[in-house]
Amino acid sequence: MAVKITEECISCEACAPECPVAAILEDGHDKNPTDVFYVKPESCVECVDHADKPRCAEACPTEGAIVWDMPYTSEFSDYYAMGNDEGTYKIREHKTKGLMLPSVKEQKFIADIPMEDREAYANVGQF
Ligand code: SF4
Ligand code: SF4
């Protein structure tokens, strides 16, 4: 990831069309493990190389619905593996590579975001 969509989400659908890498799934999608909209952490690039700020958060009208999550890097592979086991994430299973954890494929992330903001799941709109 990434950014993460929380239970504050009102399923207004504003964010998904804004994502440059089609990382956002609507509620009810069979690959969405939540009951609100969902960001696939293995796909989100935090809009790096596409925009100055996460486009989903710019489109979102709901305070606290889109928050920072950990970078999708090898360092956080166990974090995402555990979240996948617990059902927080539903990470794509590749036919030959297996679960597409960060240890298999890392994603870009905004390096300027302080780790304490990520650890606190701070609102993306606040940066
Ligand atoms: S931060 Fe950018 S890449 Fe990630 S889900 Fe939001 S719009 Fe998509
Ligand atoms: S724009 Fe915000 S409130 Fe609307 S669906 Fe996306 S995350 Fe949920």
**Which pLDDT tens digit goes with each residue over 71-95?**
999 999 999 999 999 999 999 999 9
The overall pTM is greater than 0.85: yes
Question: Quick one: pLDDT at residue 126?
Answer: 54
Which residues lie closer than 8 Å to 8 by C-beta, 6 or more apart? Answer: 62, 63, 64, 65
Domain spans of the chain?
Answer: 1-71+108-127
Residue 48 pLDDT exceeds 60: yes
**Could you give the 3-state DSSP secondary structure of residue 25?**
strand
**CA nearest ligand 2 atom 4, residue:** 12
CB of 110 closer than 8 Å to CB of 46: yes
CATH 1.20.1290.10 fits domain 1-71+108-127: no
C-alpha 20 to ligand 1 mean position (Å): 7
Best residue among 11, 67, 121, 124 to mutate for probing ligand 2's pocket (most ligand atoms within 8 Å of CB) is 11
Q: Is the CB of 39 under 6 A from ligand 1?
A: yes
According to DSSP, the residues that pair with 99 across neighbouring strands are 93
Ligand 1 atom nearest to CA at 22: 8
C-alpha 97 to ligand 2 mean position (Å): 32
Residue 46 pLDDT exceeds 50: yes
Tell how strand 24-25 and strand 3-5 pair up: unpaired
**CA nearest ligand 1 atom 2, residue:** 47
